C-alpha cells in the first residue's frame, strides 16, 4: 500500500507549476508532482527537483494515495475544459472534506459554478489567483484564494508560507466566497493592463515627441522609480530601455503588436455587465487591439495626415508634468478597479476586505507598487469608502497632479501622439467631479425618439414622458431600457 507522505499535490509541470513546487519544498512541505504527460514528472524529478523532498506520481490514483488527509490537490493547468476534465477524474478518488485548488487564470463564473457543484459532493473547492510570473512562483507570489471558506484553514499554512511578504505581512489572505478570488485576480490583471499602457504612452511621448534616446529614457524611468511611481513595472521598463545586444538596443527591433491572454478583456466585459465606468482598462485593451492592426497602420500612415511638429519647450519641465500625469492616471485606474470590486461584492454578496486586497498586491505580483500601502490605509481609515479619489491622500495627490495631466494630454494631442489611457483618465476625473453632466439632454433624446421617460430635478423616482412634437403619443415605454 502506498504511504501517505505528501502535504499537497500539484498537477501541471509547466514553468509556474515547477516553481511553485520548489517554493513549497523550500518551506518544508512535501509536494507530490503530477503531469498528464508522465515523462515530464520523471524529467522534473531527475533535474530541477533532484535532491529535494518532492515525490512524483505517474497516475492520479498514485498521486491521491500519497496525500495526507485532508487531501489537497492544486491544479495549474490551462483554464477552461482542462480544469473541468481533471476535476471529473479527481472527484471519484477523493472523500468528503478533501480540497481541490485551481491556481490558473480561470474565469470567475467557472469558479463559482465549480465551488457550488463540488460543495454538493462534499469536496471543498478553491479558486486562487496567483500573480508574480515565473520568479514570483519560485520565490514568493501574491496569492488570492477564494471559494469554499471551509478549505481556508487547511491551505492557509502552505499559502501564507510560500507567498511574498510586504513589511513582514503575507501577500495572501482569504478573499471571499465562490468566485471572489479569481474575480480579484481578474481585476488585478486589468489594472496591470492599465499600468502597462500608461507607461507605454509615456515612452511614446518621450521617444516621438521629445526625441529622447533609449539611455535618456531609461534614466528618466530610473529617477521616477525613486519617488511616488516606485513600482515593479517602472523598474523593469528602465531595464528594458537600456538593454543592448550585439545589434544595439533590442527594444527598437521588437514588433509593435501586442498580445493578450484575455483577463484584461474579461475585466472590461465585467465592467460593462455591472455598469461600472472602468474606462482606463477598457482603453488599454483596445490599444492592444489597435496595435495588432500593423499592416493597416502602415498603409494608413502614408494616407492620413497629422501634425508634423516636435516639442520645442523645456523638456525637463515637461517630463515632470508627464511624471505627474502618469501618477494621477495610475491612481484613477486603481480607483476604477476598486469601484468594480465594490459593485461585484454587492451583487455576489462577497465580503471583500479592500485594504487586505491592496496588501496582497504589495508584494510578489506584477502591479506591486509603493502606493498600494496608501490604498490599504485609505480603507483602514474608512472601510465604507465609496471611491479612492475621495480619500484625503488621493484627493490631495489629484489636486497636485491634475494640471500636469492636462498639459501632458494636450501636448500629446498637438504632437499627434495617441494617449488613450492618459486621456480617458482625465476624462473620467472631470466626469466624476462634475455635479452636472449632459445626460439630461441624452435622456430628453431617448424620450423624444423612444418614449423612454426621464426624471425631473427635485422629483427623483417619478418617471415622466413628454409628447415633444405634438405628433407622438402620451404612452411611454416601460420595458425597453437602452
Gap between the Cα atoms of 325 and 331, Å rounded: 10
Beta carbons within 8 Å of 282's beta carbon, 6+ residues apart: 268, 271, 424
Q: Is 30 annotated as a binding residue?
A: no
Q: Is 133 annotated as a binding residue?
A: yes
Catalogue the long-range contacts made by 468-471 (C-beta closer than 8 Å, 24 or more residues apart): 468/444
Q: Is 261 annotated as a binding residue?
A: yes
Q: Is 37 annotated as a binding residue?
A: yes
Q: Is 79 annotated as a binding residue?
A: yes
Query: Which residue's entry shows cell 495572501?
Result: 172
C-beta separation of 156 from 126 below 8 A: no
Q: Is 454 annotated as a binding residue?
A: no
Count CA atoms closer than 13 A to 412's CA, side-chain side: 24
List residues with catalytic annotation: 185, 192
Q: Is the peptide bond before 242 cis (omega within 30 degrees of 0)?
A: no
Query: Which residue's entry shows cell 435622456?
Result: 443
Q: Is 12 annotated as a binding residue?
A: yes
Taking residue 458's Cβ as centre, other Cβ atoms within 10 Å add up to 6
- 3-class DSSP state for residue 172? strand
Q: Is 193 annotated as a binding residue?
A: yes
Beta carbons within 8 Å of 142's beta carbon, 6+ residues apart: 129, 130, 131, 132, 136, 163, 164, 171, 172, 188, 360, 361, 363, 364, 365, 368
Q: Is 105 annotated as a binding residue?
A: yes
Q: Is 358 annotated as a binding residue?
A: no
User: Which three cell numbers, joined as nine digits, stand for 58?
Assistant: 505517474
Taking residue 218's Cβ as centre, other Cβ atoms within 10 Å add up to 20
Q: Is 475 annotated as a binding residue?
A: no
Q: Is 15 annotated as a binding residue?
A: yes
Q: Is 14 annotated as a binding residue?
A: yes
Q: Is 344 annotated as a binding residue?
A: no
Q: Is 132 annotated as a binding residue?
A: yes
Query: Residues annotated in the binding site for substrate, as ranges?
Result: 105, 131-133, 188-189, 193, 261, 288, 446, 452
Query: Residues annotated in the binding site, as ranges?
Result: 12-17, 35-37, 77-79, 105, 131-133, 188-189, 193, 261, 288, 446, 452
Query: Residues annotated in the binding site for NADP(+), as ranges?
Result: 12-17, 35-37, 77-79, 105
Amino acid at each position: 500500500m502506498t504511504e501517505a507522505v505528501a502535504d499537497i499535490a500539484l498537477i501541471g509541470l509547466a514553468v509556474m507549476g515547477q516553481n511553485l513546487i520548489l517554493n513549497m519544498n523550500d518551506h518544508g512541505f512535501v509536494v507530490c508532482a503530477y503531469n498528464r504527460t508522465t515523462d515530464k514528472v520523471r524529467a522534473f524529478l531527475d533535474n530541477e527537483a533532484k535532491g529535494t523532498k518532492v515525490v512524483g506520481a505517474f497516475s492520479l490514483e498514485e498521486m491521491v494515495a500519497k496525500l495526507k488527509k485532508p487531501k489537497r490537490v492544486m491544479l495549474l493547468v490551462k483554464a477552461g475544459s482542462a480544469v473541468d476534465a481533471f476535476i471529473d477524474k479527481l472527484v471519484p478518488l477523493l472523500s468528503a472534506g478533501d480540497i481541490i485548488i485551481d491556481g490558473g487564470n480561470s474565469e470567475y463564473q467557472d469558479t463559482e459554478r465549480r465551488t457550488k457543484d463540488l460543495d454538493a459532493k462534499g469536496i471543498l473547492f478553491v479558486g486562487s489567483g496567483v500573480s508574480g510570473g515565473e520568479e514570483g512562483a519560485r520565490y514568493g507570489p501574491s496569492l488570492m484564494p477564494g471559494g469554499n471558506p471551509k478549505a481556508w484553514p487547511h491551505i492557509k499554512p502552505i499559502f501564507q508560507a510560500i507567498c511574498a511578504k510586504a513589511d513582514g505581512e503575507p501577500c495572501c489572505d482569504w478573499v471571499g466566497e465562490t468566485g471572489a478570488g479569481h474575480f480579484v485576480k481578474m481585476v488585478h490583471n486589468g489594472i496591470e493592463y492599465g499600468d502597462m499602457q500608461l507607461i507605454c504612452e509615456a515612452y511614446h511621448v518621450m521617444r516621438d515627441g521629445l526625441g529622447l534616446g533609449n539611455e535618456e529614457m531609461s534614466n528618466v524611468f530610473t529617477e521616477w522609480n525613486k519617488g511616488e511611481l516606485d513600482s515593479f513595472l517602472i523598474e523593469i521598463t528602465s531595464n528594458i530601455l537600456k538593454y543592448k545586444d550585439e545589434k544595439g538596443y533590442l527594444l527598437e527591433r521588437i514588433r509593435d503588436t501586442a498580445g493578450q491572454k484575455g483577463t484584461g478583456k474579461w475585466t472590461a466585459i465585467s465592467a460593462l455587465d455591472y455598469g461600472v465606468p472602468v474606462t482606463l482598462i477598457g482603453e488599454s485593451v483596445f490599444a492592444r487591439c489597435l496595435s495588432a492592426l500593423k499592416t493597416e497602420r502602415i498603409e494608413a500612415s502614408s494616407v492620413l495626415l497629422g501634425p508634423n511638429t516636435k516639442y520645442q519647450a523645456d523638456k525637463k519641465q515637461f517630463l515632470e508634468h508627464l511624471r505627474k500625469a502618469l501618477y494621477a492616471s495610475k491612481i484613477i485606474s486603481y480607483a476604477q478597479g476598486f469601484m468594480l470590486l465594490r459593485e461585484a461584492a454587492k451583487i455576489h454578496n462577497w465580503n471583500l476586505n479592500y485594504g487586505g486586497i491592496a496588501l496582497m498586491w504589495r508584494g510578489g505580483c506584477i502591479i506591486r507598487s509603493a502606493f498600494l500601502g496608501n490604498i490599504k490605509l485609505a480603507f483602514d481609515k474608512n472601510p465604507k469608502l465609496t471611491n479612492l479619489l475621495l480619500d484625503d491622500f488621493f484627493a490631495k495627490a489629484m489636486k497636485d497632479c491634475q494640471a500636469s495631466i492636462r498639459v501632458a494630454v494636450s501636448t500629446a494631442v498637438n504632437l499627434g501622439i495617441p494617449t488613450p489611457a492618459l486621456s480617458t483618465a482625465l476624462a473620467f476625473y472631470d466626469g466624476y467631479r462634475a455635479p452636472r453632466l449632459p445626460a439630461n439632454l441624452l435622456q430628453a433624446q431617448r424620450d423624444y425618439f423612444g418614449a423612454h421617460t426621464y426624471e425631473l430635478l427635485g422629483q427623483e423616482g417619478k418617471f415622466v414622458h413628454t409628447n415633444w412634437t405634438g405628433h407622438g403619443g402620451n404612452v411611454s415605454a416601460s420595458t425597453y431600457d437602452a
